[in-house]
């Protein structure tokens, strides 16, 4: 089993990953939308 310190580190890493995903997904969607609009015009 993982020690308590390993779980704290894993939870911290997972939290950072989820925060990054929450910010990057909408930004990537906006960039993709801009590219699609530029290509279609």
Residue by residue, pLDDT tens for the chain (41 residues) are: 567 778 888 899 999 999 999 999 999 999 999 999 999 98
Q: State pTM to two decimals.
A: 0.65
> Is residue 21 a contact partner of residue 13, using CB atoms and an 8 Å limit?
no
Distance of alpha carbon 34 from alpha carbon 28, whole angstroms: 10
Query: If DSSP states are collapsed to H, E and C, what string results for 5-39?
Result: HHHHHHHHHHHHHHHHHHHHHHHHHHHHHHHHHHH
**Stated length of the chain:** 41
In the prediction, which pLDDT does 1 show?
Answer: 58
């Amino acid at each position: 089993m993982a020690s308590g310190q390993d779980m704290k580190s894993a939870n911290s890493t997972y939290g950072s990953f989820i925060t990054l995903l929450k910010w990057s997904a909408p930004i990537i969607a906006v960039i993709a939308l801009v590219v699609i609009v530029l290509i279609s015009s």
